[in-house]
Structures are given as C-alpha cells and as structure tokens.
Amino acid sequence: MKNILVLCTGNSCRSQMAHGYLNHFLDNRKVNVYSAGIETHGLNPGALAIMKEDGIDISNHTSNNVDEYANVDFDYIITVCDHANENCPFIPSKNAKRLHHNFFDPSKVVGSEEEKNTAFLKAREEIKSYFKEFVEEYF
C-alpha cells in the first residue's frame, strides 16, 4: 500500500483541500493519504465550505503535525506552500518522491465575504487541477 503526505504550514487549508481531492481521485485504490503541517492551525472554515460546494466533505479531517507521522514510510511527500518546503523537518522515508507546488493561500485574503469566497474558489481550482494530474501521472 502506498502512502502520500501533503504538507503545508498549518494543515488548515491548502493541504486539507489537497487531502480531500486525493481521496476523491484515488477512490478504490489502495493508498493512504495523510495531510500535516509543520504547525497546526485547525481546519479552516473557508476550506471546509468551498470543498463542500464541490461535493467533497472534509469535515472529519483534523489538523495534524508532521511529527505525528514520523513512523510512516511515505512514497510521496508533496509540499503545497513555500514556507513548508523551506522549513520542512527531515522526514525519514526511504524512497519518497518529493514534489512541491506553491499554491495561492486564500486564508490570507482580507476583504468582503465575496472576495474571500473568490479566493478560496481560486485556490480550490488550482489544487483540484494539480492533484487530478498528479493521480493521472502516478497512479
């Protein structure tokens, strides 16, 4: 069974959305998907809402610290923000393929509810496209 880790700063938004799409796109394949942060910030309500709009329920996800998975041998480690990529602790996985893509951070947008929703939609669509292509290429 393959193991995938999606890593970001706080495991609250981008990594959670990626985790949701990986579970969706990998449906019925023998793959464990984990998401974590180098910190934990809790699940972002904006991420939860924008994913629900696309039929993906991430309400049962938790915000986890990467150290919780120290004993998991990952096949793929995907960082989804530059901060996590630059500050990621050593993850002792033997043959992990490491990938990085810096996704737009919708949680940093300040403005009206409409502007915030637009930001989450933009991030969601970027993440959805990237992880659909990832699954098509590697699985």
What whole-number distance in Å separates Cα of residue 85 and Cα of residue 63? Answer: 18
From the centroid of its chain, how far is CA 58? Answer: 11
The Cα–Cα gap between 37 and 15 comes to 8
Residues 22, 4: Cα–Cα separation, whole Å:
9
Q: Catalytic residue at 13?
A: no
Task: Tell me if residue 81 is catalytic.
Answer: yes
Q: From the candidates 18, 81, 123, 135, which is the catalytic residue?
A: 81
Q: From the candidates 72, 88, 99, 121, give the one annotated as an active-site residue.
A: 88
Catalytic site residue 88?
A: yes
3-state secondary structure of 111: coil
DSSP 3-state of 47 = helix
Q: Which of 4, 6, 7, 8 is catalytic?
A: 8
Q: Which positions are catalytic?
A: 8, 81, 88
